[in-house]
């Protein structure tokens, strides 16, 4: 078992690569493939990911958890790997057949789906969950980092015209297959002489397969509403509008908003073990104080980010993706408030409700949110296209956040923590108004976007310092905790 700090550094490194790679490739792909090509790629990839996730029914998370339970008994881990991988490969083959059968009914070229079916099979052969369960994340992260870099560099080699969507899909699929197969030797090495390569040769019993499958399904069911929220908009854009361009507008905007959102939620993720420990040890005052601090820090960072993205989003998209993706700018501005709702909701669901084992509340809220998302998409997408999809996602995210945050605040007596939203909301509004005033004087363009970002940062930081905001100190403390501690000599 490796150290927590080592695992964190490897995982953090991948998050950096995952965040930076779209910034490198998105402008190039947008200009070469155009909205239609980008939308076609996004649709094939989205359907493939959806079919793969459903067909594999939680086997990755189940295998990782069971490996963690049995990691002191490598013989048991070996048997587990054998049965879980048998299930994954069998379900992956079924999923690939379903994917191709559905593709035959699509208006898009069948060969695109046939190429990407290789990705579905390759994903089924992913055995990196063993490393996660053993708390030895380096091979899994290294595999993901290398494959991400290969795809990032390969894009500029294989994608040369609007007709290269198939080549792009093939690059993505082939890279995943090679990356997943490359770690099998390391699995055998880690399992050692007790397990070794025996798991590749052993044949799981029917009872073992039934147990693993049942456990995977139990883990997967609560994730269904999350899956609906993630893919409903994309599916309904194509089902109700049939426009790959509208899908491209939404998909690219979602990726842009997802970059700061990943950073905001990562700040919260490192806090859950501490919250769980405080609850387990009965230190409720410590838990409540910690939650108040988390809400403060998150609101301090999320509100100005949302306000700034709403203002500069349309201009940034014009420069970043090109004039053909101007509609994505309006989608970015619409989705920007999700930085607040998703971040605060993440605290309520992950730091508090998950830590205190109140998952039923989270599940029912996710079900309601998914229902609202689907209903609004059906109403708005035919009229507003990608913007309607963004509005649906925003309303569903706001509903989820408000309910989960209300439960957390009432149960913990933390209504005073809601004042953070008001205080930082005022600061963010002042910042936004001043940026808009300046914009009226200097016009538009990427230079203005840069000025807006610097001006917004200075104004907001100035307000925090002027009012001696406590949340600023908490934010700096949170950032320091993300850095590795120096070892004493």
pLDDT at 489: 38
pLDDT at 1: 46
Residue 318 lies in a domain: yes
Mean pLDDT throughout 323-346? 93
Q: How far is it, in rounded angstroms, from Cα 394 to Cα 422?
A: 20
Q: State both tokens at 310.
A: 């709403």
Pair 255, 375 in one domain:
yes
pTM: 0.83
Q: How far is it, in rounded angstroms, from Cα 187 to Cα 127?
A: 8
Q: Buried b / exposed e across 415-442, counting CB within 10 Å, b at 16+?
A: eebeebbebbeebbeebbebbeeebeee
Which residue, 172, 204, 236, sits at the end of a domain? 204
Please check whether residue 185 is in contact with residue 131, taking contact to mean a CB–CB distance below 8 angstroms. no
Pair 306, 191 in one domain:
no
Pair 289, 347 in one domain:
yes
Pair 451, 306 in one domain:
yes
Q: How far is it, in rounded angstroms, from Cα 163 to Cα 171?
A: 14
Which has the closest alpha carbon to 123: 154, 79, 89?
89
What DSSP assignment string belongs to 194-233?
HHTTHHHH----HHHHHHHHHHHHHHHGGGHHHHHHHHHH
pLDDT of 356-395, one tens digit each?
767 788 889 989 999 999 999 999 999 999 999 999 999 9
Q: How far is it, in rounded angstroms, from Cα 41 to Cα 64?
A: 30
Pair 309, 412 in one domain:
yes
Minimum mean pLDDT among 144-158, 207-221, 406-420: which range?
406-420
What DSSP assignment string belongs to 33-55?
HHHHHHHHHHHHHHHHHHHHHHH
Residue 281 lies in a domain: yes
With 60 as the cut, is the pLDDT of residue 186 above it? yes
Pair 302, 372 in one domain:
yes
Q: How far is it, in rounded angstroms, from Cα 379 to Cα 343?
A: 27
Pair 115, 19 in one domain:
yes
With 50 as the cut, is the pLDDT of residue 136 above it? yes
Residue 119 DSSP code: H
User: CA of 404: how far to CAs of 155, 341, 485, in Å?
Assistant: 41, 10, 34
pLDDT at 329: 94
Pair 443, 351 in one domain:
yes
* Contacting residues for 406 by C-beta, under 8 A, at least 6 apart: none
Pair 200, 241 in one domain:
no
Alpha helices, DSSP H, located in 57-73: 59-70
Q: How far is it, in rounded angstroms, from Cα 375 to Cα 395?
A: 11
Which residue, 204, 238, 255, sits at the end of a domain? 204
Mean pLDDT throughout 458-462? 93
Q: State both tokens at 128.
A: 């990196």
pLDDT of 240-276, one tens digit each?
998 899 999 999 999 899 888 877 776 555 454 455 5
Quote the percentage of the chain above a pLDDT of 70. Answer: 84
Mean pLDDT throughout 329-344? 93
* Contacting residues for 316 by C-beta, under 8 A, at least 6 apart: 256, 329, 332, 446, 449
Pair 139, 83 in one domain:
yes
Q: Which domain holds residue 439?
A: 227-482
* Contacting residues for 126 by C-beta, under 8 A, at least 6 apart: 60, 88, 180
Which residue, 189, 204, 219, sits at the end of a domain? 204
- Burial of 352 (C-beta count, 10 Å sphere; 0-12/13-18/19+): buried
Residue 330 lies in a domain: yes
Pair 101, 236 in one domain:
no
With 90 as the cut, is the pLDDT of residue 51 above it? yes
pLDDT at 189: 86
Radius of gyration of the chain (CA): 23
Residue 477 lies in a domain: yes
Q: How far is it, in rounded angstroms, from Cα 446 to Cα 318?
A: 9
Could you give the number of structural domains in the chain? 2
| Residue 481 pLDDT grade (very low, low, confident, very high; cuts 50, 70, 90) | low
* Contacting residues for 129 by C-beta, under 8 A, at least 6 apart: 59, 60, 61, 63, 64, 67, 84
Pair 193, 319 in one domain:
no
Residue 220 lies in a domain: no
Q: How far is it, in rounded angstroms, from Cα 13 to Cα 8?
A: 8
């Amino acid at each position: 078992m490796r150290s927590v700090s080592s695992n964190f550094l490897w995982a953090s490194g991948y998050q950096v690569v995952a965040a930076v790679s779209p910034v490198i490739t998105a402008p190039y792909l947008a200009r070469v493939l155009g909205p239609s090509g980008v939308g076609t790629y996004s649709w094939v990839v989205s359907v493939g990911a959806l079919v793969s996730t459903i067909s594999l029914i939680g086997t990755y998370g189940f295998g990782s958890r069971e490996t963690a339970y049995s990691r002191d008994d490598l013989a048991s881990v070996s048997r587990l790997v054998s049965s879980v991988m048998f299930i994954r490969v069998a379900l992956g083959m079924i999923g690939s057949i379903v994917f191709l059968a559905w593709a035959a009914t699509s208006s898009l070229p069948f060969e695109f789906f046939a190429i990407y079916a290789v990705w579905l099979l390759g994903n089924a052969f992913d055995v990196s969950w063993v490393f996660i369960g053993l708390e030895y994340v380096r091979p899994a992260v290294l595999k993901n980092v290398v494959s991400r870099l290969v795809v990032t560099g390969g894009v500029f080699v294989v994608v040369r015209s609007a007709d290269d969507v198939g080549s792009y899909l093939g690059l993505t699929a082939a890279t995943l297959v090679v990356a997943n197969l490359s770690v099998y030797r390391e699995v055998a090495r880690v399992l050692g002489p007790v397990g070794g390569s025996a798991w590749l040769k052993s044949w799981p019993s029917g009872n073992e397969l039934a147990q693993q499958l049942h456990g995977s399904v139990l883990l997967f069911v609560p994730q269904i509403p999350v899956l609906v929220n993630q893919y409903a908009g994309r599916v309904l854009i194509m089902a109700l509008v049939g426009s790959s361009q509208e899908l491209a507008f939404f998909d690219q905007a979602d990726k842009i908003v997802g970059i700061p959102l990943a950073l905001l939620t990562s700040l919260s993720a490192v806090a859950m073990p501490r919250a769980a420990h405080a609850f387990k040890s009965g230190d409720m005052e410590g838990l409540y104080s910690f939650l108040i601090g988390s809400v403060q820090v998150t609101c301090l960072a999320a509100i100005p980010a949302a306000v700034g993205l709403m203002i500069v989003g349309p201009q940034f998209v014009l420069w970043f993706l090109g004039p053909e993706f101007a509609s994505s700018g309006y989608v970015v501005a619409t989705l920007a408030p999700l930085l607040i709702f998703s971040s605060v909701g993440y605290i309520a669901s992950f730091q508090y409700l998950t830590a205190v084992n109140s998952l039923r509340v989270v599940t029912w809220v996710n079900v309601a949110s998914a229902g609202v998302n689907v209903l609004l998409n059906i109403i708005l997408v035919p009229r507003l296209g990608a913007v309607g999809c963004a509005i649906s996602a925003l309303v569903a995210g706001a509903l989820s956040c408000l309910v989960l945050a209300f439960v957390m605040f009432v149960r913990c007596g933390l209504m005073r923590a809601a004042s953070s939203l008001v205080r930082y909301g005022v600061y963010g509004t002042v910042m936004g108004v001043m940026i808009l005033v300046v914009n009226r004087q200097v016009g538009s363009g990427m230079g203005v976007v840069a000025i807006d970002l610097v001006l917004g940062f200075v104004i907001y930081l100035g307000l925090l310092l002027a009012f001696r905001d406590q949340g600023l100190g908490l934010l700096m403390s949170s950032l320091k905790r993300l850095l590795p501690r120096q070892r004493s000599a």
